[in-house]
């Protein structure tokens, strides 16, 4: 009996097409259960990441879905792609080409931070390598051979989008960049981010650019809310951080100009390259705390801050919960 159940489960899960020997069933099932996929999958807050599309009927019975107050209200967003996403219900409040594949620049660092936090302790020490130091971008007094904590490098990476910090953290996590990129892509696949692929931990333009969609990024951000440190660090406006020996100070200023302009920001992440244009993620509640938390994403915007501000204001003006 157990052999037949094992065979049915394995075939159903797509792990095998045919099992010629019935006695292979239990052994293969045990191997499958022990895989990292299953270990990680049971921890997801949503078992099916295509939650909005596949379970809207369930959403209607479990939640009070956002209701558009003015059916004729519209908004003109100039970015190539944008989305506004309700965190509690996974309801899409606004969409413009939200499944269009585009370069995502430093929005990449959301996934980088997620992988780093899942594989390191905050007080672990990172040594800045020559390989990390030579990466394109601002230095912010980071130096070759400097020893600095994972926590401080995460803050530098998320606040100022520092590429040295991203590469150094990737090397600390996996030993080399290629293995870290493999972790990023495995995580994307595991989360069901079908239109997302990573080629580096920074988001810098190269021969093959990191590609995603506004929809996938919103799903990634939604998942990453279970790692609140990412977003706590991302909303620090200014800070001075030190190397392990205290001899080197790093004065860091956040690149997100909406901090201090909006109340109740949970966090955000900026991105910009020549190919990707201006990109921005923002997580926010309405100022009065009466409406749900939303995630907005704009990709390849002409003015990411103004367009995000307009989108947030439009959502809270035109939707009720």
Nearest to 233 by CA among 104, 84, 86, 112: 112
Per annotation, catalytic residue among 109, 155, 187, 235? 109
Q: Is 146 left (phi over 0), alpha (psi -120 to 50) or beta?
A: beta
Beta strands in 169-221 (DSSP E): 211-212
Let me know: does 168 contact 132? Beta carbons within 8 Å: yes
H helices present in 191-236, as ranges: 214-224, 228-234
CA distance 29 to 234: 42
Task: Return the structure tokens found at 320.
Answer: 């009720």
Provide CB contacts within 8 A for 110, sequence distance 6+: 217, 220, 221, 224, 230, 269, 281
CA distance 214 to 97: 8
Let me know: does 222 contact 115? Beta carbons within 8 Å: no
Per annotation, catalytic residue among 149, 161, 174, 224? 161
Beta strands in 115-173 (DSSP E): 125-127, 147-149
Task: Return the structure tokens found at 153.
Answer: 């490098």
Per annotation, catalytic residue among 98, 106, 174, 234? 106
100 is catalytic: no
Let me know: does 171 contact 177? Beta carbons within 8 Å: yes
243 is catalytic: no
Task: Return the structure tokens found at 37.
Answer: 């996929």
Catalytic residues: 106, 109, 161
């Amino acid at each position: 009996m157990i052999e037949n159940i094992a065979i049915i489960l394995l075939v159903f899960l797509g792990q095998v097409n045919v099992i010629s020997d019935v006695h292979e069933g239990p052994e293969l099932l045990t191997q499958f259960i022990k895989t990292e996929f299953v270990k990680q999958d049971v921890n997801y807050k949503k078992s099916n990441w295509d939650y909005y599309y596949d379970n809207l009927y369930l959403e209607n019975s479990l939640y009070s879905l956002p209701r558009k107050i003015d059916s004729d209200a519209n908004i003109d967003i100039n970015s190539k792609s944008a989305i506004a996403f309700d965190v509690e219900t996974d309801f899409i409040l606004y969409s413009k080409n939200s499944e269009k594949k585009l370069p995502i620049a430093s929005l990449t660092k959301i996934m980088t931070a997620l992988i780093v936090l899942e594989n390191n302790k905050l007080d672990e020490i990172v040594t800045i390598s020559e390989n990390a130091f030579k990466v394109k971008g601002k230095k912010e007094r980071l130096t070759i051979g400097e020893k600095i904590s994972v926590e401080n490098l995460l803050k530098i990476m998320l606040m100022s989008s520092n590429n040295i910090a991203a590469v150094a953290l990737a090397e600390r996590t996996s030993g080399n960049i290629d293995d870290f990129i493999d972790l990023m892509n495995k995580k994307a696949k595991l989360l069901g981010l079908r239109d997302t692929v990573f080629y580096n931990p920074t988001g810098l333009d190269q021969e093959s650019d990191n590609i995603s969609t506004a929809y996938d990024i919103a799903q990634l951000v939604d998942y990453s809310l279970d790692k609140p440190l990412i977003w706590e660090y991302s909303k620090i406006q200014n800070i001075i951080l030190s190397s392990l020996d205290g001899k080197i100070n790093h004065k860091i200023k956040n690149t997100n100009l909406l901090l201090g302009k909006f109340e109740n920001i949970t966090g955000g992440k900026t991105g910009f390259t020549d190919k990707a244009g201006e990109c921005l993620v923002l997580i926010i509640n309405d100022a009065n705390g009466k409406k749900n938390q939303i995630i907005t994403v704009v990709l390849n915007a002409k003015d990411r801050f103004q367009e995000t501000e307009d989108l947030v204001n439009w959502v809270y003006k035109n939707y009720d919960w």
